[in-house]
Amino acid sequence: PRPVMAPVPPPSAPGGAEPPPLQYSLLLQHLVGEQRRPRAWDPAALGGIPSPPKSEEQKMVERAMESCAFKTALACVGGFVLGGAFGVFTAGIDTNVGFDPKDPYRTPTAKEVLKDMGQRGISYAKNFAIVGAMFSCTECVVESYRGKSDWKNSVISGCITGGAIGFRAGLKAGVIGCGGFAAFSAAIDYYLR
């Protein structure tokens, strides 16, 4: 025998008692309505890969990689490699590499060209490494001091780095370096975020 559903009571007359709410209305209130309880997002419950708690060694490595010293060293090495590649590239397309001003008609040898390319690569590598380390260190210190990670950190550290580099040529050059490097940092940060 099939169960028979109870008939829906007729609407009450004005001034009478309200009819009881329908069962699916109560169910909807719990599923999508005001009585719905938020659930904590757990990847393991959704079929994700459960991750074990981190060991003390993993936490120590994470702290070391987030330190200002590690970020500065990484930026220094990255700047050295990038600067070296840029220096070798610019020397490779420069027509004056290996040129001897005493004898302008002499064709430079491959050894002389490679020597000049190496010297320019090392020079660019050192400069890029210094600028990268200065910028990364000041950005990390500014971020630690402010306690925020936003675009202002890169602008402030860009101003400090550009000002320090330009200040060697005088106060005016330091101010121009501060403004130029800060604007460049803001543009890069805006593009990357």
Q: Say what the pTM is.
A: 0.65
In a domain, 182, yes or no: yes
Q: Are residues 69 and 143 in the same domain?
A: yes
Q: Are residues 115 and 142 in the same domain?
A: yes
In a domain, 52, yes or no: no
Q: How confident is the model at residue 47 (pLDDT cuts 50, 70, 90)?
A: low
Average model confidence (pLDDT) across the chain? 83
Q: Are residues 107 and 184 in the same domain?
A: no
Nearest to 149, CA basis, from 193, 113, 108: 193
Q: Are residues 75 and 109 in the same domain?
A: yes
Instruction: Please state, in angstroms and rounded to a whole number, the distance separating the CA atoms of residues 146 and 143.
Output: 5
| Angle ∠(90,95,96) on CA atoms, nearest 5 | 95
Question: pLDDT over 90 for what percent of the chain?
Answer: 44
Question: What is the predicted pLDDT for the residue at 125?
Answer: 96
14/175: higher pLDDT: 175
Q: Are residues 108 and 162 in the same domain?
A: no
Range of the domain at 98: 63-148
Q: Are residues 89 and 125 in the same domain?
A: yes
In a domain, 170, yes or no: yes
Q: Which residues of 29-67 are buried (b: 16+ CB within 10 A; e: fewer)?
A: eeeeeeeeeeeeeeeeeeeeeeeeeeeeeeeeeeeeeee
pLDDT surpasses 90 at 25:
no
User: What would the two tokens of residue 48 be?
Assistant: 């994700």
Quickly count: other Cβ atoms within 10 Å of residue 171's Cβ.
10
Q: Are residues 89 and 140 in the same domain?
A: yes
Residue-wise pLDDT for 67-113, tens only, equals 999 999 999 999 999 999 999 998 888 877 777 778 777 787 888 88
Q: Are residues 110 and 171 in the same domain?
A: no
Domain count, the chain: 2
Q: Are residues 115 and 98 in the same domain?
A: yes
In a domain, 28, yes or no: no
In a domain, 143, yes or no: yes
Question: What is the predicted pLDDT for the residue at 19?
Answer: 64
